[in-house]
Chain A
Amino acid sequence: GDSVTQMEGPVTLSEEAFLTINCTYTATGYPSLFWYVQYPGEGLQLLLKATKADDKGSNKGFEATYRKETTSFHLEKGSVQVSDSAVYFCALSDLTGANSKLTFGKGITLSVRP
């Protein structure tokens, strides 16, 4: 079945540092890929998405490129801020079926120090 693997956390960075969070996936079809962010006490929010190979999703300074050859969707940001501290989830949806349910990775906690 479909699965998503994220790098182990937590991750602690200083403000303005470069961020990379790794994500790889396994899917039988042609999935769409997503990054969701969860701030403390809140629900998940969609951060960015990519629906086909070589697409780059971007939002709020974050970027991720859909790499079919390496089955990866790594999240990057050039300069993190304290306000980026949150839990980040990589997810996929295999749209070949009638149900667009999401398959999530375990999530990784990012803490950014001033």
Chain B
Amino acid sequence: NAGVMQNPRHLVRRRGQEARLRCSPMKGHSHVYWYRQLPEEGLKFMVYLQKENIIDESGMPKERFSAEFPKEGPSILRIQQVVRGDSAAYFCASSPPGAGLASEQYFGPGTRLTVT
């Protein structure tokens, strides 16, 4: 059973471009979480999605950031018009249906975004 997959692992964008980060959850998992890790910081929650629904986006910046988890295909975190401050590692985690404990979150290897 493959783990959580994220791609690309490294992404370089110039200021003003769009960044698309993909996350394929573990097989059978229907909950996806996105976290951001800025340099010298811990991971910060961004958004929690279930299939076709955003459950909690309280950690998402109000502008330029969006996330989706369609019925088919991976979850996508999209950052429009990137700025240097968006440079960070973005981690995705997934959990199975009905999981009530955060310990059942399984993390991907992350995408390192660099904005030049």
**A positions within 8 Å CB-CB of B:** 4, 6, 32, 34, 36, 41-46, 49, 51, 89, 91, 93, 95, 98-107
Contact = CB atoms under 8 A, between A and B. Distances in A.
Contacts of A44: 43, 91, 93, 107
B109 interface: yes
Chain B interface bracket (under 10, 10 to 19, 20 to 34, 35 or more): 20 to 34
10 contacts: A43-B109, A43-B110, A44-B91, A91-B102, A93-B102, A95-B101, A95-B102, A99-B56, A100-B100, A102-B102
B105 to A, nearest CB: 7
B103 A49 contact: yes
Nearest to B91: A43
B56 A101 contact: yes
A76 B108 CA distance: 26
A45 B43 contact: no
Contacts of B99: 100
Interface in B51-102: 55-56, 59, 91, 93, 95, 99-102
A98 B55 CA distance: 9
Contacts of B107: 36, 43-45
Interface centre among B3, B35, B41, B105 (most CB of A within 10 A): B105
A105 B42 contact: yes
B109 A41 contact: yes
Nearest to B109: A43
B48 A51 contact: no
Contact of A95 (B91, B100, B109): B100
Contacts of A106: 40-42
Contact of A102 (B40, B43, B55, B100): B43
